[in-house]
Chains A and B, each alone.
Chain A
């Protein structure tokens, strides 16, 4: 709030106030570009959630503490939600920029693979009754899946031809964000990424705590 007041007071004083609400769009994308504030953060959270789930899986395998498995599971559940959001926003953006909802661009393939991995993990978790066995097996599988993810997310989009910025045949040789964004747009973009990250961590904490409490209540009930 105080930032808003400061901004409001300083607005008439500074030299070129127009620059503050100057918001040019990325050339070639036009108004479509605004979805970047949702698409990129959700895709980032998808990978982040998967990374966290893997870290807690490794922790579980080392210490055999079922708490870590719960944290890993919460990260997985949130990751699935954000993965679907990233896929949908990406498909919508693709429709209006490339002309089709889905065209098997390498990055689309990779998000599809991530969706499949998340789905497979839930299928595996639901198949095993025993708690410890379920935790171990899903931890092992998520680590195996995690070592194949770099092939999708980092290597393949760069060596294969595709439509996304940063592909092998892309002459820009870098993501749009680095140089094509106006500073104001960049600020909104960074804020959006940070806000989504904070939102994710908040949801993750609430989720893992509620899972913990649920486990304790069930134990007492028995």
Chain B
């Protein structure tokens, strides 16, 4: 069994019941409208809108990204999956699925957000694009491995953001910083240090996930 097959299986079952997609879509609307209501008549500054963008991304991700592993536990299909696939394959398949989900989510958020917040104007698009891609990767990787831990722990819902936040914090801080920089219109060369930091986070989390997934997966 290849990672691709696992991804296809997850995709089909997701298309059939649309649980994660629905909850993600609703959460995007909820979070953005809460921010819009709380802003009210005030005008928010450029930098603040850049930071709030990642707040929306974080909370939306927390609502739906745990599904990949939790759904297996709920359906009771974990044992079958342990029999027919190696742990690395399972992780790869789930990772690809979460990556696609996070990417779709972030694209929707970006378009909706830039339509609703006039202050959210990116001057250096290239830098923001790279930030966006590396950030999406980081969020997908970290949330997948935390989802695996959560699915094996008893209480699923509340623990997920609690465990994810400290792990995602360095990523979010640097993403907010990079978004600020790209709003100023800084060329790519000047922000290379932060981008490298972001890339190293992704690589470190990816390798740690593959190293440790065995221990979580095997009962």
Q: Measuring CB to CB, which residues of chain A are less than 8 angstroms from any residue of chain B?
A: 61, 109, 113, 116-117, 119-120, 123-124, 127-129, 133, 136-137, 139-141, 143-145, 147-148, 151-152, 155-156, 159-160
- Docked-complex contact A116 and B166, CB < 8 angstroms: yes
- Docked-complex contact B212 and A143, CB < 8 angstroms: yes
- Docked-complex contact A140 and B166, CB < 8 angstroms: no
Q: Which of B145, B153, B197, B205 contacts A155 (CB 8 A)?
A: B197
- A–B pairs, 28, beta carbons within 8 Å: A113-B169, A113-B170, A116-B166, A120-B162, A120-B165, A123-B159, A124-B149, A127-B155, A128-B153, A133-B219, A137-B216, A139-B215, A140-B216, A141-B163, A144-B145, A144-B146, A144-B167, A145-B166, A145-B167, A147-B204, A147-B205, A148-B166, A148-B170, A152-B170, A155-B197, A156-B173, A156-B174, A159-B194
Q: Does B208 contact A (CB under 8 A)?
A: yes
Task: Please indicate the chain A residues that have their CB under 8 angstroms from the CB of B149 in the complex.
Answer: 124, 137, 140-141
Q: Does B115 contact A (CB under 8 A)?
A: no
The total of chain B residues at the interface (CB under 8 A) is 30
Q: Measuring CB to CB, which residues of chain B are less than 8 angstroms from any residue of chain A?
A: 145-146, 149, 152-155, 159, 162-163, 165-167, 169-170, 173-174, 177, 193-194, 197, 201, 204-205, 208-209, 212, 215-216, 219
Q: How far is the CA of A140 from the CA of B218 in the complex (A)?
A: 13
Task: Please indicate the chain A residues that have their CB under 8 angstroms from the CB of B145 in the complex.
Answer: 144
Task: Please indicate the chain B residues that have their CB under 8 angstroms from the CB of A140 in the complex.
Answer: 149, 212, 215-216
Task: Please indicate the chain B residues that have their CB under 8 angstroms from the CB of A136 in the complex.
Answer: 215-216
Main secondary structure of the interface of B (DSSP, over half): helix
Q: Which residue of B lies closest to A136 (CB)?
A: B215
Shortest distance from the beta carbon of B202 to any chain A beta carbon, whole Å: 12
Q: How far is the CA of A124 from the CA of B159 in the complex (A)?
A: 7
Q: How many A-B residue pairs have CB under 8 A?
A: 79
- Docked-complex contact B170 and A156, CB < 8 angstroms: yes
Q: How far is the CA of A212 from the CA of B81 in the complex (A)?
A: 37
Shortest distance from the beta carbon of A68 to any chain B beta carbon, whole Å: 14
Task: Please indicate the chain A residues that have their CB under 8 angstroms from the CB of B209 in the complex.
Answer: 144
Q: Which residue of A lies closest to B177 (CB)?
A: A160
Q: Which one of B145, B146, B173, B193 has the greatest number of beta carbons of chain A within 10 Å?
A: B173
Q: How far is the CA of A190 from the CA of B88 in the complex (A)?
A: 47
Q: Which residue of A lies closest to B207 (CB)?
A: A147
Q: How far is the CA of A124 from the CA of B208 in the complex (A)?
A: 19
- Docked-complex contact A151 and B201, CB < 8 angstroms: yes
Task: Please indicate the chain B residues that have their CB under 8 angstroms from the CB of A156 in the complex.
Answer: 170, 173-174
- Docked-complex contact A144 and B169, CB < 8 angstroms: no
Task: Please indicate the chain B residues that have their CB under 8 angstroms from the CB of A152 in the complex.
Answer: 169-170
Known interface pairs A140-B215, A144-B167, A159-B197; 9 further A-B residue pairs with C-beta atoms within 8 A, sorted by A's residue number = A113-B166, A120-B166, A124-B153, A124-B163, A140-B216, A144-B146, A145-B166, A156-B173, A160-B177
Q: Which residue of A lies closest to B164 (CB)?
A: A120
Q: How far is the CA of A117 from the CA of B219 in the complex (A)?
A: 25
Q: How far is the CA of A124 from the CA of B170 in the complex (A)?
A: 21
- Docked-complex contact A127 and B154, CB < 8 angstroms: yes
Task: Please indicate the chain A residues that have their CB under 8 angstroms from the CB of B174 in the complex.
Answer: 156
Shortest distance from the beta carbon of B30 to any chain A beta carbon, whole Å: 24
Q: Which of B154, B173, B201 contacts A128 (CB 8 A)?
A: B154
Task: Please indicate the chain B residues that have their CB under 8 angstroms from the CB of A109 in the complex.
Answer: 173
